[in-house]
Structure 1
Amino acid sequence: MSVLKRSLGRVITAMITPFNEDGTVNYDGAVALGRHLVEHGSEGLLVGATTGEGATMTNEEKLRLYQLMVRELGPQVPIIANTGGIDTLATIEFTKQVAETGVDAVLVICPFYVKPTQEGLYRHFTTIAHALPDVPIMVYNVPGRTRSDIKPATLKRVVDECPNVIGVKDATGNLEQVSEERRILPDDFLIYSGDDSITLPIMSVGGDGVISVASHVVGDDMLAMIDAYQHGDVKKAQQLHIKMFPIMTGLFFITSPIPVKTAMNLLGLPGGAFRLPMVDANEEETAFVRSLLVNYGLLDA
């Protein structure tokens, strides 16, 4: 897969996007948060995706954010940019613009709302990949949000035809599906867990790492877990998995990114405001997030 210039890392944080109180993007805050994440376990950063509220950002805002992250943090870690949508041709045009920022790869979601067939998914991804043969593309499969699920056999058709489709963020929660992906796809095809809480099980069936939300707050432990597993210390990996489990699940007790952004604000890191239809956590929800952080030793009681 020669189009991939460097490893994308084992722990890739799906970054929130800090917004100012007036709703504008806090670009300086994004860079500061990115630096913090890189210092605490993140080997790569995914920007402007679901956790980053990319659906409510304009293309111009995302382009500026991607350019800034590449310039400020790209020399240290790979930057992956979200470019996907439900319109194949619009995705191609936007991805062409994003590629000029110098990002290491792009994430393209299975189209949501329109519910394409497997043939439609195959044509969607191959059309994009053929139009951008020098851009490394990662497929984002998250049927819980999109009601669209690219099956391993369809993904193999895409990969066999398009070598620049280099990986998948698998958020199906289905270990059998991940196992089949590992079985039939090339050894160097990257399979990332899209669900923090099953990262270790996915590693056990051939996964390469995680595109994580929890790594905003437990990135060091997340990387340590993966590192322990890869070095054969399964017991340590299991202990870290259990330690992180309340955080990995608790940050999804209501719609993400509300809990993780609330956590960032509680920790004094750049979290900021939300854009509708995302809203601030209420008092009870904020108290629950605080309890997660206190119980983990990240905040004083």
Structure 2
Amino acid sequence: MAVAEQIAALKSQLRDGVSPAMATPLLAGTHTVNTAVVPQLVDFLIDKGVKGLFVGGTTGEGTQLDPDQRQALHEAAVAAAAGRAPVLLHVGAQRTEAAVELARHATGLRPAAIVAMTPTFYGMSDTALACYFQAIADAAPDVPLFLYDIPQFAVNGIGPALLTRLAGDMPSLAGLKSSRVDVQIVRQLIDALPRDRILLAGNESAALGSLALGADGLISGLSTAIPEPFVAMTRAFAEGNIDEARAWQRCINRLLGVLGGLRIGGIKAILQQRGVPVGPPVPTLDASDEPLWPRAAEILGVAG
């Protein structure tokens, strides 16, 4: 199937739904992927009604893992999903050649798409970013590519001008995953992206607003542990039940408060408490032993 046809099919599959930014099961105290648990997590999410899976991103701690572990994670996730849901593999890296190698490896797995975050820490011009993304696209020309825009963590962002430029230059550009907190810039990115491409919004506290502005769907880290309200909200929005969708957005905002300051540690604690043994975060991140799932379940029960 031509890459343009793949993008069109993927747009239909992801529209009006959530694709969790999947947590990565790890062996405790290590940076080693526990591939034996990946199928259990994939089953948990697909059974809850998610539209796709985003693997090895920020919530997935992908940038903290060595390339061989990222490849092992990608292999396990694609095999576990087995055609039941589109899998988006994150291949972005600090060095272009590392991202290119991950993209080449991903090509052999035949995922629905690859995703590339910008390099981090050092500020880069649009020209430098364009070269980076083009190298990744060239390494996997037959695989749809999403750009990953998260400047609050990466320093480098993908603005409307760069997005317009790359959409014209790169036939494999599927679209953009934007986690910006500024909804006004998200609106500009939606306007800049050709309508045959895909914009996935990552700001959970303004998720419904992003959908109303024209985002095709959501990618959410919290939904890897608590997918229910995101599935319900996107479904309600798609069916035109705006009051119900607003109620689920309010529920999501309350659930975000349960995590406190431990984003990844909190998400993994909830999964552990729901019976999915993903283990703790990488050793450099704080884990949590707080009873977070009972608190979240109480909020869900009231909202439902």
Judge same fold: TM > 0.5, yes or no: yes
Question: CA–CA distance in 2 between the matches of 1:75 and 1:288?
Answer: 32
List gaps (5 residues or longer) in structure 2: none
TM alignment of 1:161-172, pairs within 5 A: 161-172=169-180
Residue identity opposite 2:113 in structure 1:
A
User: Contact 1:83 / 1:106 at 8 angstroms: preserved in 2?
Assistant: yes
User: Contact 1:41 / 1:222 at 8 angstroms: preserved in 2?
Assistant: no
**Mapped pair 1:33 → 2:41:** yes
Q: Deviations over 1:115-139 (max 9, x none)?
A: 2112222222123223422121111
Residue identity opposite 1:50 in structure 2:
T
Residue identity opposite 1:117 in structure 2:
S
Deviation (angstroms), 1:5: 7.3
Secondary structure, counterpart of 1:12 in structure 2: strand
Quick check: 57-66 or 136-145, which moved more? 57-66
Number of the residue aligned with 1:231? 239
Question: CA–CA distance in 2 between the matches of 1:155 and 1:42?
Answer: 27
Quick check: 121-130 or 28-37, which moved more? 121-130
Deviation (angstroms), 1:18: 1.3
Number of the residue aligned with 1:53? 61
TM alignment of 1:70-85, pairs within 5 A: 70-85=78-93
Percent identity (aligned):
24
**Mapped pair 1:256 → 2:229:** no
Number of the residue aligned with 2:252? 244
Number of the residue aligned with 2:51? 43
List gaps (5 residues or longer) in structure 1: none
Number of the residue aligned with 2:128? 120
Quick check: 59-68 or 38-47, which moved more? 59-68
Q: 2:148 is matched with which residue: 122, 125, 140?
A: 140
1:236 to 1:154, Cα distance in 2 relative to 1, 3 A: same
User: Contact 1:3 / 1:164 at 8 angstroms: preserved in 2?
Assistant: no
Deviation (angstroms), 1:240: 1.3
Using structure 2 for the length normalisation, give the TM-score. Answer: 0.90
Dislocated runs of 4+, deviation >4 Å: 287-290
TM alignment of 1:1-301, pairs within 5 A: 1-4=4-7, 6-7=9-10, 8-9=13-14, 10-21=17-28, 23=30, 24-251=32-259, 253-281=260-288, 286-287=290-291, 290-297=294-301
Equivalenced residues, count? 294
Question: CA–CA distance in 2 between the matches of 1:163 and 1:25?
Answer: 33
Question: CA–CA distance in 1 between the matches of 2:96 and 2:195?
Answer: 28
Q: Output the aligned Cα RMSD.
A: 2.0
Question: CA–CA distance in 2 between the matches of 1:99 and 1:117?
Answer: 28
